Each structure stands twice: as structure tokens, then as C-alpha cells.
Amino acid sequence: MNKTLNYIISACLMSSFFLYGTANAQEQPSPGRRAESLYRSMEYARAAAAYEKLVDIKKPRTSDMERLAESYLYLNRYELAENWYARVVRQPDASREAYLNYAEALKQRGKYTAAKEQYQQYASRYGVSDTVTRAIRGVDSALVWVQNPTNHKLRNERGVNTERADFGYFPTGSGKGLYVTEPHRILGSESGMTGESYLRVYSVEHNADSTLANPNPIFNEPNDGKYHIGPVAVDQAGQKYYVTRTYPGKTDTERFRAFGQKWRRQNLELLIYSKEGDSWKVENFPYNNAKEYSLGHAALSEDGKTLYFASDMPGGKGGVDIWYSELQADGTWGAPQNAGDKINTNGDEMFPSLDNGTLYFSSNGHIGMGGLDIFSSKGSKGNWSTPKNLGYPLNSASDDFAYTVAHKGDNGSYTGYLSSNRVGGAGSDDIYSFTYNYIKPCPQIMVKTIVRDKNTGELLPLSDVTLFSETNQIISKGKTDEKAQISFTVDCNTSYRVLGEKEKYHDDSLPLAAVHPTRDTTLQVTLNLQPAYKVGDRFVLENIHYDFDKHNIRPDAAKILDELVQTMRKYPTLRIELSSHTDCRGSNKYNEDLSQRRAQAAVNYIVSQGIARNRLVARGYGENRLLNRCADGVPCSEAEHQANRRTEVEVLEF
């Protein structure tokens, strides 16, 4: 099984898979067998928890680390997947898939240069393939797109998005729309694989500012299917619904084995619902053949005479293709025609939508940033222009699909919606609204960033600097120039975070608070990178705070420790002592015990992120290494005491 299959299950793209029989479990299995059983059953969250215990030893098995990394990849926890794959690929018995999966995790986190290196290493080990060549071209393009983002502004529609799958919003007029979601058992049907409800169609309101609100399930038709329902397309009159659903019949010939278990593939089919008074007439699209192939994701031309859809029916270019059918004089639909090789590739093309002679669709066969990317092409039926990648931020390293234009304004501005499982969302697949506006909404804000050596103040040219949103999505990134400077244009009333990185230095980041200036403004930011490459180097981890008399790692402290994890991942021979220090208040014994617990908690957290335990030493010094005069009996200010309460890193080996 691969990640594509996992995505197909979660988003009901072109087929669904159901477990219908498993081998009998042994009584009281060993921890290793239990972890493997959970993994093979696709219970990735529980499998990850089981594997975490197996790998926290001096010499963990490569296969256990790889299964843990794969579990995190399936769960879209890309930072943890990256951490563990970084260890896996250094093992001589790592599988060839580990190199590709590592590149995928890096790409999902926007680390395109590092991902390219992994693809190249894979090619040098196992030979060049079309897949790897296309991936390398994709990361090269992505680097350009991220450094030159379009003027689209995206917003996660948290009024409807949940931790489960929400995607495929389609406006139906009068401030209403439809989308697909994985409800929490509201409608009573439940997937035996995920434990959650099957996908269902919901109605939702869209406000004047394009935000979505007040989602409500649609009862009875079209939600009366046995398995997944959606997505939906609606004609301009609102009288016909073209509904994709998982075929509910038996398909015994499509059973197969994977991971030692039996699965059944259920293809998709397209149903047409026609409004007749207060009821609906339901008919099958005449070219459904769910026992042989999938057919769904319908989109109707503006004149209602051409129906586009996605299918893996025979006669295509490979994978899933975009097809079309023309309305005949007698009201029937003509035989499907392939949209042609300008649109279709040997990969997958799906989720078509139309707007004034432009076809939008998603593809993993054309050059893209990763996963499914959204493309546009002008034309009709089987005659199309060369598809154009919509670039960043409409596309990301993840799957981006179900693009639709909702409203066009003056001066070329427009709004719309897309779906994505990109980093920083509410859960699995999320719905995002977007705006494109030629009118500058507020004075220009330029963030001018300078990167220096923290110890010497020396300028650090060619440092990597990344601008992140509040939800940790990459806004833009690039390298500092010969003056160690780089500038980003940001929006008013919006918070950001800027991160600096350079070889042989520990990362530094700073939050940027939202501002709304009255005129064009330049904000000056200085990032101070701490050298961390010589034995004996020692530096303080700023802003590591603990609750009073506690040693648990708070979320704000975890973010600081995550930067240390990145440093250790970049330098696999780096071994450190992580020490905790207190001020003089309290007894010496109490302070030593508390600081040891805090140091150990920090080490345990770093180990949980994929760093080998034997690379870390936890030491609690209590009040034995004060930085100033504030010993017992000396009156000091709170600021002076605070300087002694710190977490330090010392390089032991490099």
C-alpha cells in the first residue's frame, strides 16, 4: 500500500477499499507483532504509538524505525516522518522506498532543495526513472514558485473544516453551496476501516466575504447511499445534481490481498438527480460500469451541453483521465470521449471544473509541487491549450484539488474555493477560500531580514530564510544576498514567523506581530544564528519556560526544542549535553532534582522526535552554575534571577 491509496480512501477520489477479512490474531502478541499488526491494519496512529516504544533503545531495528516513519507519513505528520526517515536512510539495510518517502516528507515541509538531493541519491542508487525525473523537475519549479508567489490570498474555512475530511465545495447560488465531509456518525453510517462516518454531502451558507458557515447534513437523497457520497456538481438552474458515489453492489472479482489481509475494491459511479416537484428522479449515468472501472467528479459546461468527468475506463492515456460526453438531440448523453493528451498524462487527472472557457483540473502527472496540483487550460472538449500550473500558494507540496471560481469582481478580481490537505490545516482535507485582487488592500509592508553570527556579529550571506504564516504554512523563502539581507512583502493585520538557517549554525526564528501602518513601511528583523559545530561550544536555548515546580514540556518550549531537533538532524554526528539550571532560591538538593527532571524531560521530547537517545546527555546543575552574583543571601532583581533560570546546550562530539 502507498500514500496514494491512503488518500483515495480518505477523499474518495476514484475508488474505495474495504477490509472484509483478517487472519485470526494470536493471543497476547509480542510488542513487535502488535505494532506490525496495527500497521498492516492501517491503524497508523496506534501503530506509531506502538513503534515509538520499540525504537527507544540503543540499537533499534531499521524496519521498526521505517514503519514508524511511514505511519507518520500516512498521518500527514511530516515533521516527525522527516525526523525518522533521516535516521532510516543512514542505515545500510534501509529499503529503496525509504529514500523516496524521505524526499516526500521533505517536500511536504517545503524543503525542496533537500528533497531534490534525496531524489538524486535515489537515482544514483537505483537508476533514473520517469517518476524521479518528473519529481526533480517539480522541486526545481516549486523553488521558483515559492520565491515568487502569486497575489492569491488563502483562508482556511474553519467554520466548516474539522479534523476529518472536508472538501469539494460547490456554490449553488443564493448564498448556498454543497460540500463533502466525513461527519462524526451524524447520519449513522460508519466505515469499518476508519471508524468514522462515510463521506456525505452537506449544505452550507457562504457570506459576502466568502466565508462558509452553518453546515447542515442533507437527509435522504442524495445521501442515502451505502458507502461514500460526493462530490456533487449542479447545473445553472439548480434542477440537476451530478453526484459521485461509491458503488454499493458486490464486486467479488475485485478482491485482492495486501499486508496479508483481504481487501475489496469498490469503484465509483455517477448518478444524475433531476428535480421533479418536491421529489427527485434518479438515473444512472449510462456509461457507468463500476465492476470494471470508476467514473465520477462531474463538471457541466456553462451551456449544459457537455459533461466532463474523471475515469480510469479503458482507452485512456494512463491512470485516471478527464473525459467528456455531449448531450444529444434526444436528451441522452453521447459516448465518452477522452479530453486528449494535452490534458491527460500517464498519471492521474481529476476534479474538473469550468469557468468561461477555462478548464481547471488536478493532476499528479504534469510537473507540479507535489501530490495533486491544480492546472488551467483554455479550450473545449478534446481541444485544449498547454496546461498551466497555478503556482504557489494555490498549489502546495500536498494534494490540492476541487478548484472552483465563485465570484468575479471589477478590475480582474475574483474569489473562489479549493481543497487541500496541506500543512497547517484543521485536519485531513480542508476547504480554503481564496481571493485575487489587483487593488492594494493596505500600505505595503516590507520585512527586511538580516542574518548574523550571534557570537561575533558577522554577516552571514547565503543563509536560508523562510517566512511562515501563523499556522506554519510557508509564505515565501529564499537566500540572503552578499549583504546577508533578504526582503519579503507581507500583508497588514497578519502575523508571521521568520526562520533563519545556515550550515554549522543553530537555527533562529522570530515572530512578527500583525501591524497596520498608515503608509508604506519597512520592518527591520535581525536573526542571530548560534555557531554549533565545535566541541565545547555552549549556548542558551532562549525562551524555554516551565510551569512553577513542573518539568513537563509546554507547547511554547516544544517549538524551541524543535529547532534543536532540526540542528541535530542536519548533523548526525553531533552529540550534546542538554542542561537545566535554576536560580539560588530554594534548597540546593531541591534545585538539583528539579533541574534534572527538566533536563530529562527535554531529552525525552527530543528522542520522541526521532533523535537517538545516545546522542543526548541530560544534566541538572541546579544553582551550581550561576551566571551572575546572585548566590544565596545576595539581594537580586527578578531579571537577574531569570538570567540564571536557563536551558543550555553544550557540544560534546562533532
Name the nearest CA neighbour of 507 among 482, 481, 532.
532
Positive or negative: CA dihedral 434, 438, 444, 448: positive
- With a CB cutoff of 8 Å and minimum separation 6, the contacts of 135 are 103, 115, 119
Which of 96, 130, 147 is the last residue in one of the domains? 147
* The C-alpha cell that represents 154 in the structure block: 488563502
For 210-224, 244-258, 518-532, 540-554, which range has the lowest pLDDT when averaged over its residues? 244-258
What is the helix (H) or strand (E) element at residue 178, kind and residue range? Answer: strand 176-181
Residue 6, domain member (yes or no): no
15 belongs to a structural domain: no
Domain end, chosen from 89, 114, 147, is at 147
- Judge if 287 and 382 occupy the same domain: yes
Does residue 256 sit in the same domain as residue 167? Answer: yes
Q: Each residue of 17-76: pLDDT tens digit?
A: 555 554 444 456 788 889 998 888 888 889 999 999 999 888 899 999 999 999 999 888
Do 306 and 390 lie in one domain? The reply is yes
Q: What is the mean pLDDT of residues 80-99?
A: 93
The boundaries of the domain holding residue 404 are: 152-436
Find the mean pLDDT for residues 608-625.
90
The rounded distance, in Å, linking the Cα atoms of 299 and 588 is 72
The pTM of the full predicted model, rounded to 2 decimals, is: 0.76
Looking at 413, 436, 459, which one is the last position of a domain? 436
- For residue 264, what pLDDT band results from cuts at 50, 70 and 90? low
In a domain, 21, yes or no: no
425 pLDDT band (50/70/90 cuts)? confident
Q: Which residue has the higher pLDDT, 425 or 526?
A: 526
Do 360 and 405 have their domain in common? yes
Edge-to-edge strand list for the sheet holding 521-531: 485-490, 445-453, 521-531, 505-506
Residue 7 reports pLDDT greater than 80: no
Task: Give the pLDDT score at 9.
Answer: 34
Q: How far apart are CA 46 and CA 31, in angstroms?
A: 12
State how far Cα 546 lies from the chain centre.
Answer: 30
| Residue 105 maps to a domain | yes
For range 544-569, the mean pLDDT: 82
Task: Locate 478 and state its grid cell.
Answer: 529564499
Q: Is the pLDDT of residue 259 over 80?
A: no
- Does the pLDDT at position 194 exceed 50? no
Shared domain for 508 and 606, answered yes or no, is no
470, 409: one domain: no
Q: Report the chain's mean pLDDT, rounded to a whole number.
A: 86
**Residue pLDDT, tens place only, 439-465:** 566 788 999 999 999 989 999 999 999
Asked if 599 and 477 sit in the same domain, the reply is no
Helix (H) or strand (E) holding 403: strand 400-408
The average pLDDT across 394-409 equals: 92
Q: pLDDT value at position 330?
A: 94
CA trace torsion 637, 638, 643, 645 (10° rounding): 140
CATH of the domain at 459: 2.60.40.1120
- The secondary element (H helix, E strand) that includes residue 145 is helix 130-147
Q: What percent of the chain has pLDDT over 90?
A: 49
Query: Are 483 and 624 members of one domain?
Result: no
- Pair (162, 55) in one structural domain: no
Answer yes or no: is pLDDT of 430 > 90: yes
With pLDDT > 70 as the criterion, what percentage of the chain qualifies? 90
Q: Is the Cα dihedral 101, 102, 107, 112 positive or negative?
A: negative
pLDDT at residue 546 above 80?
no
Does residue 9 fall inside a structural domain?
no
The full 3-state SS of 409-424, as one line of letters, equals CHHHCEEEEEEECCCC
Q: Are residues 352 and 238 in the same domain?
A: yes
On whether residue 19 sits in a domain, the answer given is no
Q: Are residues 415 and 512 in the same domain?
A: no
Task: Specify if 640 maps to a domain.
Answer: yes
Dmax over CA atoms of the chain, in Å, equals 98
Q: Is residue 401 part of a domain?
A: yes
Work out the average pLDDT over 488-506. 89
CATH number at residue 544: 3.30.1330.60
Burial of 211 (0-12, 13-18, 19+ CB in 10 A): middle
Q: Are residues 334 and 457 in the same domain?
A: no
What's 75's domain CATH number? Answer: 1.25.40.10
Tell me, what CATH number does 167's domain have? 2.115.10.20
Count of the separate structural domains present in the chain: 4
Length of the chain: 654
